[in-house]
């Protein structure tokens, strides 16, 4: 066989010097070059300042977004070293900013705890910036050096005398690398507030010069203040429980507070890094919580001999907790740092939390009984839900349960190629069934409004026929039994009317997915259909518009006689119209529902305010945002 492959020898091998590899493959270092990667740059610089705070050397951090989309981060820490690194004969400032894996976080002793363990952070920021200007105040003098796309534009310069100490990094992300140069002030503020909670007494200020937003965060209560903030719109059952202890150069801090609700919210951090996937510190905390509450319940006769113990689900119902640890050598899974893997941390956390929590329960019997009674109610509700859960659990191949009778399934069996529409009512469901592509589109009509899951126990939720239909249709289970690999459709599309009732139904469905199938949202499987609000006939042609703004803009460009129809509901469109405007993949607009890591606390608060028991916070929210309403259905 003739070999037509091109010649391949040592002349084809390229050696990328310095930071060239970062610019060649940026996603290897920051995950992506989209919104997430852009903000990763800012977090890397801020995390360096936070490392100074954790070392006890920094008390103030200032973050600014400029009108040119540049970022400036100033801290009053010790300052990046400016003396000469002997092996390279270069100042430490230049080495840190131009060499990968250069830093003081690999066991030198300069940092007892650090989030920036990998040592590639600020040099990667430099490589992916059009320009970066560094200023260091150290040893009574000011030092400056500038860079362009990772390369020094000149040597470090010693400047005026000063009594300050710290570092200022100002950078402009490279527009040739990133899809969008704009930072999101709201996302940044959530992360900065989180860092201020975790680093008690550290002041973090923020200024968005373009958007006009400002923030000033400082919490002397630390994670206790964090807990109070998270439970602000809820009904706490007791004052926050604060636990702290140290072992084997590891510091553990935990704050615990139960509320009258049903959702669990446990946030975990390692060296101020949000470990959204948990890890060994979360495992240790959960084990200690379950054991301590069971031991107290047995000892005080709340659980009798022969009674089943409280399960993990039971003791975590209504729990809000922060688990924050600081350790010398954190082992994160991947550069994204979302899961802690240090095996010894489980035992350390379990011992510290278990010992102090047991002591608290002994010394606060009234609060202990209140917590235990809530857990027992949760256990009874779980037992009541067991039979209902069996009705909704997807069976194995040998015992397949029938799908809901009103589901019009598709013929495609590959979930990646399949989608299901959750349609508001039977009439719209009929149009959708007629207009769909039966090959890959399934239709599940829903009758009226589903139950508000924010206000009730699981056994009552599973008794709701519409919710059971959704769970069975999805096929992946809910709660602790959720398994994304069994999901039958990789697009779950909520399609409701463009009116107040439609918005309410959509919110109820999103609340259910958020509380019991959150992984669907996190993995990007949930979408919202965008049916048009208006149809405009011009002769034989019909144009569709999604809001008043689009319609008004079109009217201004036409002297023509227009016949305008406002669709008050999906049922007012025939099957062909519904397909053309809302269901045809070649022309439809659908919104993907996402949950960013930095917005988890804000999302939790939003669902609590909008769907919880308290009326006053909801009324205040409506009054605050009333003027932002764009399409008001009257």
Point out the residues that are catalytic.
424, 497, 499, 501
Cα distances (angstroms) measured from residue 526 to each of 404, 508, 583: 20, 14, 15
Q: How far apart are CA 312 and CA 338, in angstroms?
A: 22
What DSSP string runs through 84-141? Answer: EETTTTEEHHHHHHHSTT-SS-SSSSS-SS-S-TTS-HHHHHHHTEEEEEEEEEETTE
Q: At what angle do helices 35-54 and 185-198 cross, to 10 degrees?
A: 20
Q: Count Cβ neighbours within 10 Å for each residue of 597-626 and write b for 16 or more, e otherwise.
A: ebbbbeebbebbbbbbeeeebbeeeeeeee
DSSP state, residue 153: S
Q: How far apart are CA 138 and CA 140, in angstroms?
A: 6
| Alpha helix (H) residue ranges in 13-79 | 20-24, 27-30, 35-54
SS3 of 265, please? strand
Q: What is the 3-state secondary structure (H, E, C) of 162-203?
A: CCCCEEEEEEEECCCCCCCCCCCHHHHHHHHHHHHHHCCCCE
| Alpha helix (H) residue ranges in 499-589 | 500-516, 518-522, 548-557, 575-578
Residue from 518, 392, 532 nearest 465 by CA? 392
SS3 of 271, please? coil
Q: How far apart are CA 602 and CA 507, in angstroms?
A: 16
Say which residue the tokens 């079109």 belong to: 554
Q: How many CA atoms lie within 13 A of 389 on its CB side?
A: 17
Residue from 530, 386, 526 nearest 470 by CA? 526
Count Cβ atoms below 10 Å from residue 442 Cβ, excluding itself.
26
Q: What is the dihedral of CA 380, 384, 386, 389, to 10 degrees?
A: -130
Give, in degrees to the nearest 5, the angle at Cα 513 between 391 and 198.
130
Burial bucket for residue 225 (CB in 10 Å: 0-12, 13-18, 19+): middle
Residue from 325, 265, 318 nearest 293 by CA? 318
Sign of the Cα pseudo-torsion (112, 116, 117, 123, in order): negative
């Amino acid at each position: 066989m003739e070999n037509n492959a091109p010649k391949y020898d040592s002349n084809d091998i390229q050696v990328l010097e310095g930071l060239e590899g970062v610019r060649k493959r940026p996603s290897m270092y920051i995950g992506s070059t989209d919104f997430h990667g852009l903000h990763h740059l800012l977090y890397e610089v801020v995390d360096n300042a936070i490392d100074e705070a954790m070392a006890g050397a920094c008390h103030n951090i200032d973050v600014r977004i400029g009108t040119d989309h540049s970022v400036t981060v100033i801290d009053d820490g010790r300052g990046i070293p400016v003396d000469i690194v002997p092996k390279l004969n270069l100042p430490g400032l230049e080495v840190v900013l131009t060499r990968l894996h250069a830093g003081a976080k690999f066991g030198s002793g300069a940092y007892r705890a650090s989030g920036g363990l990998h040592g590639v952070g600020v040099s990667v920021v430099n490589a992916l910036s059009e320009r970066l200007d560094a200023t260091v105040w150290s040893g009574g003098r000011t030092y400056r050096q500038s860079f362009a796309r990772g390369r020094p534009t000149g040597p470090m310069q010693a400047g005026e005398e000063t009594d300050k100490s710290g570092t200022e990094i100002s950078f402009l992300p490279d527009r040739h690398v990133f899809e969008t140069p704009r930072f999101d002030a709201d996302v940044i503020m959530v992360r900065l507030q989180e860092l201020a909670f975790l680093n008690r007494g550290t002041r973090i200020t923020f200024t968005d010069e373009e958007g006009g937003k400002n923030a000033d965060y400082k919490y002397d209560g630390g994670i206790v203040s964090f807990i109070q903030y998270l439970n602000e719109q809820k009904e706490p059952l007791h004052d926050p429980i604060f636990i702290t202890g140290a072992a084997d150069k590891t510091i553990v801090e935990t704050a615990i507070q139960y509320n009258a609700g049903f959702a669990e919210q446990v946030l975990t951090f390692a060296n101020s890094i949000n470990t959204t996937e948990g890890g060994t510190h979360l495992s240790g905390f959960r084990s200690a919580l379950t054991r301590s509450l069971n031991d107290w319940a047995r000892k005080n006769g709340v659980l009798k001999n022969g009674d089943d113990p409280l399960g993990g689900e039971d003791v975590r119902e209504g729990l809000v907790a922060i688990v924050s640890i600081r350790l010398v050598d954190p082992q994160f899974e991947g550069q994204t740092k979302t899961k802690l893997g240090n095996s010894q941390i489980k035992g350390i956390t379990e011992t510290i939390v278990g010992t102090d929590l047991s002591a608290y329960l002994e010394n606060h019997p009234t609060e202990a009984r209140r917590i235990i009674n809530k857990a027992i109610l949760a256990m009874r509700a779980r037992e009541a839900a067991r039979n209902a859960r069996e009705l909704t659990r997807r069976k194995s191949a040998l015992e397949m349960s029938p799908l809901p009778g009103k589901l019009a399934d598709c013929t495609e069996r590959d979930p990646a190629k399949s989608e299901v529409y959750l349609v508001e009512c039977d009439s719209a469901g009929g149009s959708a069934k007629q207009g769909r592509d039966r090959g890959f589109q399934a239709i599940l009509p829903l009758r009226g409004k589903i139950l508000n899951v924010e206000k009730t126990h699981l056994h009552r939720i599973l008794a709701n026929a519409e919710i059971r239909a959704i769970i069975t249709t999805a096929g992946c289970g809910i709660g602790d039994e959720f398994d994304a690999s069994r999901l039958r459709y990789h697009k779950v599309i909520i399609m409701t009317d463009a009116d107040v009732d439609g918005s309410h139904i959509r919110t109820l469905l999103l609340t259910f997915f958020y509380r019991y199938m959150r992984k669907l949202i996190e993995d990007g499987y949930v979408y919202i259909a965008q049916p048009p609000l208006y149809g405009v006939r011009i002769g034989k042609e019909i144009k569709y518009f999604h809001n008043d703004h689009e319609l008004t803009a079109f009217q201004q460009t036409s002297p023509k006689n227009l016949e305008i129809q406002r669709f008050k509901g999906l049922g007012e469109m025939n099957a062909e119209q519904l397909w053309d405007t809302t269901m045809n993949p070649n022309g439809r607009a659908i919104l993907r529902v996402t949950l960013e890591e930095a917005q988890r606390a804000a999302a939790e608060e939003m669902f609590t305010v909008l769907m919880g028991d308290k009326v006053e916070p909801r009324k205040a929210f409506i009054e605050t945002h009333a003027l932002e309403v764009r399409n008001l259905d009257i």
